[in-house]
A and B are shown apart, each in its own frame.
Chain A
C-alpha cells in the first residue's frame, strides 16, 4: 500500500515507537500511584515525554505539557476553559469540527474570519475585523487539514495579544512539521495530536497550556487526595485517571524522532514531494489540485478533484490500486465552505517523513489511469 493519509494519522512510525510501547506494557504500571519500580519507570517515562515536548515547542515548564487522548480532547479542554455558553468566538475559515462542534454545543456566536486559500494578508485582515467585534477567545488552525494552507499564526497571535484576546491554536497538522514556539506565540493553549506529525500511537495528544484551564474530567490524580476539588496546579488539574503509559512511551519515542530529524528537514522533504505531486497532477487531464503558488504557504497536504467524479469514487478507485487517500469533507465543512468546495469536498493526499518520490510517481500513474478511465466512460 502507498499510504498518503498522514493528515489523519501517520501510519508508518519510527521503529523505536512500537518498541517503546511494548517495553512500557512489559515493565510499567501506573504513574503517580506508588513508590515501587514499575510505577517509578512509568513516572520517568511521562516526565521524559513532557521534557522532550517542552524542548520541541519551547514551553517554559514541563508542568504546562498536558497529556490528552487526541487533539479533539485537548481542544475541548481549551475551548471549554475560555468560552462560556453563549459566548462569542472568532475562528479562521479553515477550522475542523473538533473546534466548530464544540462551539456549536456551547451555543457560541461564531465569527468566521474567512479568507481565500493561501492568502496570509487577507487572513490577518479578516481576523483583525473579527477581533474588533469583541470576542471571548479566538481559535485558529495553524495548517488547514484539507488544503495544507499555512495560516499566518504569528500574525494572528500578535493581533490577539494586542487585543487582549486569548488564542487557541489547533496545531493538528503542524506539530512536528512547522516550528512552534509557545513562548513567542503567547497563546493560551496549543492543542495537537500525538499520532500525526509527532509519530506517536493513536490515542495520544498534547495540550500546551499557557493560561488558566478548567478540568474536563474529575477524578484521581495521585496528589492532594484529601481534597474533593481537582488540584489547582498543572498537569494534575487536567489529567484525571490513569495515563495511557504505553501510548505516551511511544509518543516520547516519536518526539525524539522528530527532534533528531528536525522539523525543518521534515517540512522540506514533504514540500518536495508535494510539489512533485501537484505539478504531476497539473499534467493529468480532468485533474485539478489546490497547489499554492508560493510553496512556503503550504505544508504536506494537497487537495484535488477529478472532473466528473465524486471524491469518494476517486478514493475508492485509488484504494483498489493500492493508494490510500482520503475523500469527502475531512471533518472540516467550514474549510470547504471557505474554499468553495462544498458540497462534495475533495480528495486529499497527505504526506509524512516516510513517503518517498517513487510513491508519488506511482500515485500519479494510478491517478492518470483513473482519470483516463473516467474520460473513456469506463467509470460512471
Chain B
C-alpha cells in the first residue's frame, strides 16, 4: 500500500500535527521513525493515506504545524517529497 510519512521534529510536534489532522477529520497514526526518515536519528512521523495527503498538508499548513519532511512510501521504497 502506498502512503505518505509526515516527519515531525519531536513527539510533541507529531502530536500537534495529529491533533490538527484529527480536527480536520483525517486519521493519522503516530509512528516512531529512524534515521532513514528523519536524517538525524530517532524521531516521529505520521502515516497519512495517499487519499488524504493533499487535505492533510493543507490542514497542517493552516494549523501552523507543518511537517519538517515528507516521504512518499511505495512498495517499501521511500522517496522525499519536495515541500
Contacts and interface: CB of A to CB of B under 8 A. Distances in A.
Interface of A: 31-32, 34-35, 40, 43-44, 46-47, 50-51, 61-63, 221-227, 231, 233-236
A233 B15 contact: no
Contacts of B32: 34-35
Nearest to A232: B9
B69 interface: no
Given A34-B32, A35-B31, A224 B43 contact: yes
Nearest to B65: A61
B78 interface: no
A98 to B, nearest CB: 26
29 contacts: A31-B11, A32-B10, A32-B11, A35-B31, A43-B15, A43-B30, A46-B12, A47-B11, A47-B12, A50-B12, A51-B19, A61-B16, A61-B64, A62-B16, A63-B10, A222-B11, A222-B42, A223-B42, A224-B41, A224-B43, A225-B40, A225-B41, A225-B42, A227-B41, A231-B10, A233-B10, A233-B13, A235-B10, A236-B9
Contact of A223 (B11, B15, B30, B31): B11
B31 A47 contact: no
Chain B contact residues, majority secondary structure: mixed
Chain A contact residues, majority secondary structure: loop
B66 interface: no
Contacts, number: 62
Interface residues of B, number: 19
A223 B16 contact: no
Nearest to A224: B40
Nearest to A235: B12
A203 B79 CA distance: 44
Contact of B9 (A51, A226, A233): A233
Given A35-B32, A226-B35, A62 B42 contact: no
Nearest to B33: A35
Contacts of B12: 46-47, 50, 62-63, 234-236
B48 to A, nearest CB: 17
Contacts of B38: 224
A221 B16 CA distance: 18
Given A223-B41, A224-B41, A233-B9, 4 more contacts: A43-B30, A47-B12, A61-B64, A226-B35
A267 B53 CA distance: 47
A221 B42 CA distance: 9
Contacts of A63: 10, 12-13, 16
Query: Closest 3 interchain pairs by CB?
Result: A225-B41, A226-B41, A35-B32
Contact of B11 (A43, A51, A227): A43
A182 to B, nearest CB: 16
B10 A236 contact: yes
Contacts of B40: 223-227
